Each structure stands twice: as C-alpha cells, then as structure tokens.
Amino acid sequence: MSDETPICSAKGCRAAAVWVLAWNNPKIHTPERRKTWLACEEHREHLSKFLGARGFLKDVVRFDEWEQTGS
C-alpha cells in the first residue's frame, strides 16, 4: 500500500478522498465487477449523479470503511 493520500477523481481536484463510488458499466463489465472513483465531500454528489444517470453507480461508501473491508 502506498503512503500517498488518495485524492478525489474529479477533474482538477486535489482534495483528499473521503468517499468511494463503486460502479460498473454493464455493457462491458461482469455484474460482480466494481470499478472505483474517489470523491471529496465537495464532489461526491456531482460524481454520484454522473454515474447514476448512466446506470453505473452501485454503491457509495466512506473511504475508511472501504479500506477496512478490503474491497
């Protein structure tokens, strides 16, 4: 594991990640596959809406909880 602080996936954002947005594109991924985007507090809703509008968003979990589950 890296010692670097994970950062938000929003374009141009350098804030620390607080949320994990788990998603998959059903046209190209198997149903159990989960890709992830990281989000700061400011961008969580925007990124969630972007993925949700496409039917890709599967789960939103706090980053520390995601790490504890080993997902």
What does the pLDDT look like over 25-48, one tens digit per residue? 999 999 999 999 999 999 999 999
Question: If DSSP codes are grouped into helix, strand and coil, which group holds residue 61?
Answer: strand
Alpha-carbon span 69 to 27, nearest angstrom: 27
Cα–Cα dist 2/41, whole Å: 22
Q: What is the pLDDT of residues 2-23, one digit of tens each?
A: 568 899 999 999 999 999 999 9
> Cβ–Cβ contacts within 10 Å for residue 20, how many?
24
**Helical ranges in 15-62 per DSSP H:** 44-53
pTM to 2 decimals?
0.87
Q: What's the gap between Cα 20 and its chain centre? A: 3
